[in-house]
Structure 1
C-alpha cells in the first residue's frame, strides 16, 4: 500500500495543483486567524510558514521518491545487483515509469541469472569430455595401457569420441547464440519430408551404430509425397536432434518410430516415439530449456535447439503422453506457410509464446510455458534512497537513521503547551523560568552525548541563565540571558570546538525543522501505530468528555473548587485560545527542533583542517609587524595625552577630554576584535618547522596581544571617564562588560600562544562569555546603574530623572534611599505589582516590599526639584 496521500490521483500536474492549493489555503487560514486574534506578526509568521511546510511535506510524500529510487537502483544495477525495486503504487506518470522500471529490472535480472547459469553449465559440460580426452592423451604420451596397435587405435577412437562430443556441444551453443542474436534468418522453400527424414535417419543410424546402440528406425510418411515449406537446413537440424535424443534414451536394440503427416491447419505434424523411460510430466517443460537435461542426462542443448527451430518457423514443439505404450512422445507442429517469429533481442533470450496447440492427439499434453519463472519475490529488495532534505544538507548532516523517539515528541509538545498556558498575559518570572528549564531538560534528555563534560558544563550554565528570568525584572538582561542560554544549548549538544562550528550550530537549529522531517515522520508513524489506534483515540475522547462534563458539574456545585479551577486554568476566550495555540506550535516546534539537533547533531566540526603555511617568513611577519607598529603609535599617543594633560589635548585637537574619550571608544572595541582575527590568521599561516619560526611566532604575536591588552585597558578607562561625565546607562555598562570579556579572551590567546596549542581557546571564549553575562545578571545591572548615577548626582548635582524612571523595578531598593521629594520625580515609573505565583520575580517582589513599607511620594512634595 502506497504511503503517498495523493497516490490515487492519476496526473502529476493535478497533484502539484492540489499541493499548491492546500498549502496556500492553510497558510491563508492560519494567517487570517492570527490577524483576527491580534497575534503578533513575529509569532504568527513562523507558525504559518511551519504549518504550510508541514502540509506540503504531508501531501508531497512519495511524489518524487520513485525517481530518486530509480537513480539509486540504476547505480546498483550498474554494479550487478538486479534485485532493487522501486515504489510503484502511484497512478500517475511517475508510477507508470516506476512499474516499467521494475519490469525492466526483473528482465535484466533474468538475463543475468541465465548468463551465470549458462557459464556454470557450459563449464560443467565441457569439463567431462576434456578430462576424458586429457586422460587418454596422457596415457598415449606415457605409453600407458596401449602396448599394441589395436589398443592404441581404441584409445585414439575414444579420444576422437570425446572431441566429437565437445564439437557437437560447441555447435549447439553456436546455434543458440545465432538465434539469440537474431542472426539465423529463415530461407523457406519446398522440402520433401520423406527425403529429409531418410537423410536424417541415415545419419542417426551411423551415429547410433558408432555408439553400439543397435537402434532401428521406423519411418511413416503420409502421404508419401508430403512436402512442407521450411528452411531445409534448420528443419534437418530439428529432426536430427530429435532422432539423436530418442536414440540416446532408447534401450539397445530398441525402435524409434517417426510419423509425418498433415497437421490440423494443413501444415506438418511430426511425431517421434522411443522405447525409453519417457519424460515425467513435471519435467516436460524444463527439458526444452538450455541445459535442462531432466533426469536422463546429456547436455540438454539438442531439445533447446529443436525448440528454437520450431519457434522460428512459427510452430510449436511439446511432449505428449504416449498412446498406450512406454517411452517419450515428441510432437512438432509447423505451419503450412511459415511466418518467422521475431528473434528475441540479446537481452531477452526467452522464446516468444507459441500459439496454443489444437486439442488433437492424446490427451494430457503439457504445453510449453511462455517464459521461465521469475525470481523469487522475496529476493526483490526495495530501494532506500536519501530524500530531498539529504540533498539540501549534504554530508554536513547525514541521516543516520535515528530511531523514533515518541517521548521526545510528546515532551516537546508538552513544553509548548506549558508555555502557552504560562507565558501569555504575565510578566517573566517563575513561570517563564519553568518553561526554559523544561525545554532545556527535554533537549538534554534527548542529547546523543549527554554525558560529555562540555555538554554538561553548557547545560549547567543554561540552567543558571534561565533562572535569571525569575530573579531580575530588567527585561533586557533576562532576554540576553535567555538568548545566551539557547546559544549554549545548541553548541553544547553539537559539541563544537571552533568559532565557525558555533555559527553552524546556531544555523542548524532552524534547519533542524527541515532535517528532522524524516525522523518526525517515523515518530508520528509510531504514534499512530501503537496498535489499537481507534481504541486509543476513543479512550482520549471519552476521557476528555468525562473531564469536561463532570468537571463543569462539580465546579458549579462547589465554590472553593471553582476558585481552584479558576486559579489553574487560563482565560480561554476565542482570541486568547488562538494566541495560545500559536504559542503551543511555536514553542513546541522550537523545542522539538532543538531536541532533534541533540538526537542527531550535525558535523559542525570537520576535524582540524591542515594548516597551509606560507613559503617565506616575511609573508606573514611583515603584515603582523605593521599592526604591531600601529598599536605602538597608538600607545605613544596615549602616553602623550597622559603626560601632556588636558591643555595639550585641547590645544592639539580642539577637543575636551570627555569628547576625546567618547570619540575613540567604539574604534578601540573594533580594533580589539580585529586583533583576535589577525592572531588567528597569522597562527595558521606561520610555519613552525624550525626553532626560529616558533620564536618569531611567539614574540610577534605575544607583543601584539600585550599591546591589545593595553588598548583594552585604555578603552575601559575611557568609558569610565565618559560615564562620569555623561552618566551611566545600560548600553555603556554592557559595552564595558563586552570589552572586558575581549580582554580575557586576549589573555587566553596569549597563553595559547606560549604553548602553541590554542584549540581550547574557542570553547573558553564561549563559556567565559556566558559566565560574564551571568555575572552581570548577578550584579543586578539596573540597580548598579541607579547607584552610580546617584553617586554622580551627589558629586555633581546632575542626573537624568527620565532615564532613571525607565529602569526596571530592580533599581527600586536603591532609588528608595532618595528623599521623598526627589522620589516623586520617579513615581510614574513603577507601581507595586500584584503577580501570581507563576509571575513571581525576585526583583519585583523586593520593589513591592520597599514601596509597601514606606510612602513612595510625600504628601506635600512638589516637583520643583525635578529637572
Structure 2
C-alpha cells in the first residue's frame, strides 16, 4: 500500500488549479488562526512563528501528498516497467488532470502487459510447434543416415511433410509480422468467388485429410473486389481449421452469398463446435480451438488470427455463429463488402490487436501498487535516503510525552530543575531510538550532552546556559549520526532541523501503524467530525442553559487564555524538536560519505611552496612581536602611533582568526601532500611542524595581549569566552602536531569535539559570571575603577564573588530580578545562592543602587 493511501481529501475536485488554490487557502487560514491564538495568549514571537510555520507545513504536506501521489506512483511504476514488470498499476482516484493521466497510464500498462504476454506466448508456442516436426524430421534423416530405413518414396514423403509443416509455420509467422507492423499492400481487382473457392478446396484436398468438401455460391457468377491472394489465404485458413476439427469422413461446407452491398463467406464443419464463451478467443494468436473448447489436434494457432487480419484488411469482420437449425458443428462467417468504401494506393491496415490472450501467465500478476517515493525524496535523494524505516509508535509516543511534559513544566518558570527533567526525558527518547545506542562514541556524546544539560540547574547566566544547551544539541546530533570528520559533524547538526521534512514519510508510516491497517484518514475524519459535533452542540446548549454553561466552563479550558496558549505552543515546539531528533536517531544520514577521499597532487612543490610561504609570513610576524616586546612602549608609540593597550586590542581578533586559518591550511596540505616516498613524509612533517610551532607562538601572543587588555579595561564575558576559545585552538594545534608526527589523524576530529565540549563544561562549572565579578572587584581594589553597571548585568551566579562586601556595595554589584515561579521545579543553584545571600544580608527588599563609589572603567 502506498504511503499516501487515504490522504486524498481533494480527490473530488476536478481541477489542479482549484486544488492548489484550496491548498494555499487552507494553509493561510490555519496559520492565521494559530498566529492569532498565539498573539492573544501572549506567546513569544520566537516560539509562535516556528510552531505556526511547522503546523502550516504539516497541513500542506497532508493535503499535497494526495495531489502528487499519482505522479510519484507513475514515476515508480515507469521504473518497474522499464525492468519488465508490466503488472504494476497506479492509484487513479482523483478527478482532475492528474487523475486522467493516471488512468491513461493504467490503460497503457494493460496494453503493454498484453503485448508482453503475447511475446512470451509467441516464443513458447513457436518453440513447441517447431519442436515436433523438427524431431520427426531428424528421426527420419537419422534412420536414413544409419541405414535403418531405405530412401523409398514413403520415407521421403514423410520427411517432406515435416518440412512443409515447418514451412507453413514460417509463412504464418511472416504474415503475423505484417500484422504486428500494421501495414500490408493490397492489389485490389475484381475476383470471381466460385473459382476462388474451387481452387481453395482443391488445395485443401491435397492435404490428405479424410474429409469431404461442398461448395455453394449464390449467385453462381458472384464477383467482388479484393486482393485474390489475401482472399485465397482467408479461405484456405478457414478450410484447414474446419478440416482439422471435423471427424473422419465428415463434410466441410464452404459457401458465399450476397446481402445487399456485402457478401458473406461461410465455412461449416461437423465437429463438436465452439462454445459461445470461447468464440472470441479462437481468433487470438495461438488461441487454438483446443484451448477454446474444441477438440482435435492443434495447429500453429495462427490460422484464425491471420483470417481476422485479412478480413480487417478488406474492411470486414469475422466470427463464429450458431449453426443453422438441423445442423451441428462450428460455423465461421466472414462479413465483407462487395466494393470496399475505402480507397487505397498502398493499403495500410491497422488490425484489431487482441489484448487478452488464451494462455494465462505462468504466475498471477502482481496487482500491488509500487512503492511510492515521498515528496522529500526529490529534495534529499541519495544524500539522505529514507531507507523505508518502519513506523515506531513508541518513539512517537515518547516524543509527544516529552512535549506534554514540557508544556506542563516549562512555561512561567525560570530555567532550572524542570528544564533539566525535560531535557533528560528527551535524551532518553533519542538514545532509545538511536541505531547506534551501543556504540562507545554515541554513549560518550550522550554523557557529554547530559553533563552540558545539567548546567541549567547549576547556573543562572543565560549566556553560558544557552551555549551549553546548543553544544549539548550539537554533540547529541553528532553522536546519533556517529560522525568521524568535521564535515560529518556539520551534516549532523544541519540534519536535525532538516529532519522535519525528511521524516514526514516515516511519520505517515507511524500514523498508520498507530491506527491499525492504514485507517489513519478514517480516524482523522472521525476525530474531526466528533470534535465539530461536540463544539457546535455544546455551544448551543451552553448559550441556552446557564447551568450547562457552568459545567462546560468547568470542564473545557479557556483556549484563548495565556496559560493554555503558551503551554500548547511549548508542547508542540518541544515535541516537534524531539520528534525530529528521534527520526535522526532512527535514520541518520550517511555522513561518512560526505567527505571526499584525499587526492594528492602529482608534484611536491604544488603543496609545499604555499605552505613554506605561509611559514615565512609567520616567521616575519614573530620577528615583529619580538621587536615590539623588546622595544618597549616608547618604541611602539613612536613607530605606530598607538599606545600599548590600543596595540594589543587591535590585534587580538586577527590573531584568533589566523589560528583558525592555520588549522585550515594544515588540513588542506595534509590532503594534497603525497606520502608514498620517505622524502614526502619528511617534508610534510617539517613544513607543518614549523607552521604549527609558529601558530603556538601566535596563540601565546594572543593570550598575552588579552591579559594586558584585561588589566587595562577589566574582564568581560566576551573577553573570557574568546580567551577560552583561543586556548582551545592552541590545544588543537598541539593535537595537530602529534597527528603530523604519526601521519595519522583519524582521531583528531573527535578529539577536537570532545575537548571543546569538556572545556566549555569546565568553563560552566568554574562559574564564569562569578569569575568576571571577582576579577573586576579585585581590580577595583587596586585601581579604584570599576564598571558597576556591567556588574549589575551579571546573573545571580556572581554572588560568590560578593562575599565580604557590605550591603550598599553589594546592591551596586548585584541586581535580583523577580522570579517567575519559585517552587521546587524552578530550583537553580545560582538563584538559590543569591536568595541565601540576600537573607544573610538582612533580608528585606533588595534595591539597585546608582550612587556607587569610584570612576567607571571602559574599553
TM-score by length of 1: 0.86
Look up the match of 1:304.
305
Do the aligned residues in 2 keep the contact of 1:84 with 1:382 (CA within 8 Å)? yes
Pairwise CA distance, 1:729: 1.5
Q: Does 1:242 align with 2:244?
A: no
Question: 1:824·1:863 contact (CA, 8 Å) conserved in 2?
Answer: no
- What is the rounded CA distance, in whole Å, between the counterparts of 2:242 and 2:810 in structure 1? 125
Query: Quick one: distance in 1 between partners of 2:850 and 2:140?
Result: 134
**Structure-2 residue corresponding to 1:723:** 710
Q: Which residue of 2 aligns with 1:517?
A: 504
- Asked whether the equivalents of residues 188 and 338 of structure 1 are also in contact (C-alpha less than 8 Å), the reply is no
Contact 1:111-1:347 at 8 Å conserved across structures? no
Residues 396-415 of structure 1 deviation map (CA, whole Å, 9 limit, x = unaligned): 10110011112222222222
Distance 1:63 1:329, change over 3 A: same
State the Cα deviation string for residues 29-53 of structure 1 (Å, max 9, x = none). 3233333333322222222221221
Which residue in 1 is equivalent to 2:695? 708
Aligned to 1:207: 207
Alpha-carbon distance between aligned partners in 1 of 2:525 and 2:372, rounded to the nearest angstrom: 35
- C-alpha displacement of 1:631: 2.4
Instruction: Please tell me whether residue 28 in structure 1 is matched to residue 23 in structure 2.
Output: no
Q: TM-score, normalised by structure 2?
A: 0.87
1:7 aligned residue = 11
**Residue 166 of structure 1: aligned partner:** 166
**TM superposition shift of 1:472:** 0.8
1:111 Cα deviation from its structure 2 partner: 1.2
Please say if residues 194 and 224 of structure 1, whose CA atoms lie closer than 8 Å, have aligned partners that are also in contact. Answer: yes
Q: What SS does the corresponding residue of 1:451 show, helix, strand or coil? A: coil
Q: Deviations over 1:629-686 (max 9, x none)?
A: 3322333333344444445444544544433332322222111111111111111121
1:466 aligns with 2:453: yes
User: Could you tell me which of 580, 583, 587 is aligned with 2:567?
Assistant: 580
CA pair 338-657 structure 1, distance change in 2 beyond 3 A: closer
CA distance, structure 1, for counterparts of residue 350 and residue 196 of structure 2: 34
- Distance in 2, matches of 1:395 and 1:746, equals 35
Q: What aligned pairs does 1:175-190 form with structure 2 within 5 A after superposition?
A: 175-184=175-184
Counterpart for residue 549 of structure 2: none
2: CA distance between counterparts of 1:719 and 1:596? 44
Counterpart residue number, 2:753? 766
**Distance (whole Å) between structure 2 residues aligned to residue 109 and residue 858 of structure 1:** 87
Residue deviations 1:65-110 (CA, integer Å, cap 9, x gap): 3233333433433343322322211100111111111101111121
Instruction: Give the distance between the partners of 1:48 and 1:832, measured in 2 at CA.
Output: 29
SS at 1:506 equivalent: helix
Q: Which moved more, 1:369-378 or 1:273-282?
A: 369-378
* Whole-angstrom distance in 1 between the partners of 2:563 and 2:8: 36
> How far is the alpha carbon of 1:339 from its aligned partner?
5.4
Correspondence for 1:355: none
Question: Is the 2:812–2:852 contact (alpha carbons within 8 Å) kept by the matching residues of 1?
Answer: no
- Greater RCO, 1 or 2 (C-alpha within 8 Å, sep 6+): 2
| Aligned-pair CA distance for 1:468 | 0.7
**Conserved in 2, the CA contact under 8 Å of 1:72 and 1:385?**
yes
Once the two structures are superposed, residues 417-449 of structure 1 have per-residue CA deviations (whole angstroms, 9 ceiling, x without a partner) of: 222222222211111111222222222222121
Distance in structure 2 (CA, Å) of the matches to 1:396 and 1:485: 25
Are the aligned partners of 1:268 and 1:334 in contact in 2 as well (CA < 8 Å)?
A: yes
Shift in alpha-carbon separation, 1:309–1:664, aligned structure 2, 3 A? closer
Alignment of 1:287 onto 2:288: no
Structure 1 residues 283 and 25: CA distance shift in structure 2, 3 A: closer
Where do 1:327-342 residues align within 5 Å?
327-338=329-340
1:290/1:459 Cα in 2 relative to 1: closer, same or farther (>3 Å)? Answer: same
Map residues 443-522 of structure 1 onto 2, 5 A cutoff: 443-522=430-509
User: Of residues 670, 675, 692 in structure 2, which corresponds to 1:688?
Assistant: 675
Name the SS of the counterpart of 1:62 in structure 2.
helix
Distance 1:830 1:20, change over 3 A: closer
Q: Mean alpha-carbon deviation: is it higher for 120-129 or for 687-696?
A: 120-129
**Post-superposition shift, 1:15?**
0.8
Asked whether the equivalents of residues 140 and 152 of structure 1 are also in contact (C-alpha less than 8 Å), the reply is no
TM-aligned CA distance change 1:223 to 1:421, over 3 Å? same
Residue number among 62, 67, 71 corresponding to 1:58 in the alignment: 62
1:371-382 → structure 2 map (5 Å cutoff): 378-382=365-369
Contact 2:418 2:825 in 1 (8 A): yes
Aligned partners of 2:118 and 2:357 also within 8 Å: no
Contact 1:221 / 1:261 at 8 angstroms: preserved in 2?
yes
**Is 1:788–2:775 an aligned residue pair?**
yes
SS in 1 for 2:125: helix
| CA offsets 1:240-297 (integer angstroms, 9 cap, x no match) | 233333333444444334454455x674444434444555666544333332331422
How far off its partner does 1:348 sit? 7.3
Choose which of 589, 596, 604 in structure 1 pairs with 2:576.
589
